[in-house]
Amino acid sequence: MTNTRRNFDPDSKAKFISLLNDTDWSLIDILYASNNPTDAAYTLFIDTYRKQYDKSFPLINATPKKRTKIKQPWMTKALLKSCNKKSSLYKKYFKNLHKLIGYHSFLTVINSKH
């Protein structure tokens, strides 16, 4: 499972500011001053701004990180490890329904301890 996100690191922000400073905004001023509808000037502004934004902060695919931080006070590292293993085995099982990969046997071991 992948998610898309944007990277807002200081280098990207500096690039964005630089691109905005280097952009020729005179056409927007001309559209605004020539009594054209302000929608045309606004649309051109948004398109130009968005183009620079997309150049500076491109969408990147990010895979979710494996959860290693314990959120509940009763959750131990061993339980977290077991939960992660169970999730991993379930994903393998779900992808290969015709093969039992050990998910059921692992569940039996876990359930017998409770």
Q: Is the CB of residue 99 less than 8 Å from the CB of residue 40?
A: no
Count of CA atoms in the C-beta half-sphere (13 A) of 48: 16
What integer is the mean pLDDT of 57-80?
80
Q: Is the dihedral of CA 83, 88, 89, 90 positive or negative?
A: positive
Q: In the prediction, which pLDDT does 73 show? A: 83
Q: Return d(Cα 74, Cα 5) in angstroms, integer.
A: 32
pTM (two decimals): 0.53
Q: Is the CB of residue 49 less than 8 Å from the CB of residue 61?
A: no
Higher pLDDT pick, 10 / 90: 10
What integer is the mean pLDDT of 99-104?
62
Of the pLDDT bands very low, low, confident and very high (cuts 50, 70, 90), residue 9 is very high
Of the pLDDT bands very low, low, confident and very high (cuts 50, 70, 90), residue 19 is very high
| Whether residue 50 has pLDDT greater than 70 | yes
Residue 102 is classified by DSSP as S
Q: Which of 63, 110, 114 is nearest to 85 (CA)?
A: 110
| Whether residue 83 has pLDDT greater than 60 | yes
Give the H/E segment covering residue 22: helix 10-22
Q: In the prediction, which pLDDT does 20 show? A: 93
Count other Cβ atoms within 10 Å, centred on residue 37: 10
Could you tell me the CA-to-CA distances from 11 to 17, 47, 66 in Å, in that order? 10, 23, 27
